[in-house]
Amino acid sequence: MMGPGDQPGDQPGDQPGDQPGDHSVADGRAGAIAGARAAALRRPPRMALQDVPMAVPFDRLPDYQDMERMQRAAAMIGVQNPFFRVHDGLAAARSQIAGREVMNFASYDYCGLNADPRVAEAAKAAIDAYGTSPSGSRLVAGCRPIHEALETALAQHYGAAAALTFVSGHSTNVSTIGHLMGEGDLILYDALCHNSIQVGMKLSGAARRAFAHNDMAALEALLIENRGRYRHALIATEGLFSMDGDVPPLAALIGLKRRFGCWLMVDEAHALGCVGAGGVGSFAVEGIDRGEVDVWMGTLSKTLAATGGYIAGSSALIDLLRGHASGFVYSVALAPALAAAALMALQVLGREPERAARLQDNAALFLAEARAAGLDTGTSGPFGVVPVMVGDTLVAAKLSEQLLDRGVNVMPVMFPAVPMRAARLRFFLSALHSAEDIRVTVALTAEILRDLRQSGFGTAIPPALLGL
Ligand SMILES: Cc1ncc(COP(=O)(O)O)c(C=O)c1O
């Protein structure tokens, strides 16, 4: 039973030590030869063509078999697959699932802009003006004035010289990190960074080192140990951690990046709309100078009620990505309607700071109620993401299922999206939730979780079936 975005073997912190490309550039050519030799040694020995086996059916691949094993274990104790639930209409603070209205804590509508008539009108006007597709990459036929208007607004938001939009947030990280960094470079990243950051790092071929979540002493130790062996170094973190709902110590990160000559990249996917007065983002928490962050990254898919991603930074950075980032150069432009929706949402966010204030009040209420009910909310703060830690994967799935039965939609998150035995329910708060919704939801969560634990739910499963 896998979640969207789950990538077996791709969990945070699964790699330090023997990374491809993890060698010094001081002796660049010799290092490259040694690297190629090491890679050749890792390859299975060459077979005669007549001995090559038949292509393995996909259902024999280990990832597929893991999924099947988990599904058998879930079926054994009567847990349904919680993923791919179909919402019949608009998924906001309330949603319709299987013809029934439920309170919804599973969608990114932090500031309640997804159904805002001004946002919808802007998107419709862009369709009327430009059609539904940009019909090409930005380099060829895809540029429309709305792209430039959105990029100018995003650059202003970060006090940056320029910005660039991509068709997806995930591909923004993959293409940006994948292009900016390369062999002989070093990426230091918070162990809880999103999959898209990790995939970009792998693509880049740079050496990678995870530091324990928000642990500046651990990062400093890694820098002391490793920085001198590499050409460029990038520190990557998130402005609001997507699974844990807490914020990074940006001022300390800036201190370290300056001291050790690194670039700093901050992924604001969840921070925009949730963090700081008016939801401006993580830079507001400690009042840092926005120019100290070399690469601001964000998504249009959360607070900005669209889909797509962006980078903001210096003109040179943006020119570089515009000319070389594969997910920009070789992919279609952002659909004009989405660019228009995101631009309007950003403008409304700026004009109506009370939206973010309501979201933050709701998050604070959720946290206070949850703590009073004895629920473990980890390190989360009063922003938009609050996990309720469960531990066991199947208990988290069953809790989600029983909450849906009682009128609350919230998704479980499990390994490998989070570490093993750190399964949780992840609640996305919205400015549109009512205090009553929150109180009822927390009370139900605490009641059902207590009952599941008291009944010893899940303990009857043979450990072998869980792969333990
Ligand atoms: C921190 C972070 N970065 C990037 C992304 C990818 O963004 P998108 O879903 O808009 O492609 C996500 C997705 O949830 C995320 O949580």
Residue ranges of domains in the chain: 66-110+353-466, 117-351
Assign domain 66-110+353-466 one CATH number from 3.40.1360.10, 3.90.1150.10, 3.40.190.10, 1.25.10.10. Answer: 3.90.1150.10
CA 3 vs CA 259, 275, 410, 411: distances in Å: 39, 26, 13, 9
Which residue bears the tokens 């010289």?
A: 161
Confidence of residue 458 (pLDDT cuts 50, 70, 90): confident
What average pLDDT score do residues 126-143 get? 96
Report whether pLDDT(16) > 80.
no
Residues annotated as catalytic (active site), given as ranges:
242, 270, 302
Report whether pLDDT(297) > 90.
yes
Which residue bears the tokens 């201190």?
A: 255
Report whether pLDDT(34) > 70.
no
Cα-to-centroid distance, 44 and ligand 1 (Å): 36
* pLDDT the model gives residue 1: 38
C-alpha 369/C-alpha 372 separation (Å) is 5
Are 242 and 248 in contact by the 8 Å Cβ rule? The answer is no
* pLDDT the model gives residue 330: 97
Amino acid at site 18: D
Residue 208 phi/psi, 5° resolution? -130, 135
Quick check: CB of 175 below 6 Å from ligand 1? no
Amino acid at site 176: T
Q: Whose CA is nearest to atom 3 of ligand 1?
A: 269
Nearest atom in ligand 1 to 301's CA: 10
Quick check: CB of 309 below 6 Å from ligand 1? yes
For the chain, how many helices (H) and strands (E)?
A: 14, 13
* pLDDT the model gives residue 30: 53
For 138-166, the pLDDT digits (tens) are: 999 999 999 999 999 999 999 999 999 99
Assign domain 117-351 one CATH number from 3.40.640.10, 3.50.50.60, 3.30.470.20, 3.40.50.970. Answer: 3.40.640.10
Instruction: Quickly count: other Cβ atoms within 10 Å of residue 331's Cβ.
Output: 17
* pLDDT the model gives residue 27: 43
What average pLDDT score do residues 231-251 get? 98
Characterize 68-103 residue by residue with b for buried, 16 or more Cβ atoms within 10 angstroms of its Cβ, and e for exposed: eebeebbeeeebeebeebebeeebbbbbebeeeebb
Are 465 and 71 in contact by the 8 Å Cβ rule? The answer is no
Top-confidence residue, 414 or 103: 103
* pLDDT the model gives residue 32: 57
C-alpha 67/C-alpha 73 separation (Å) is 10
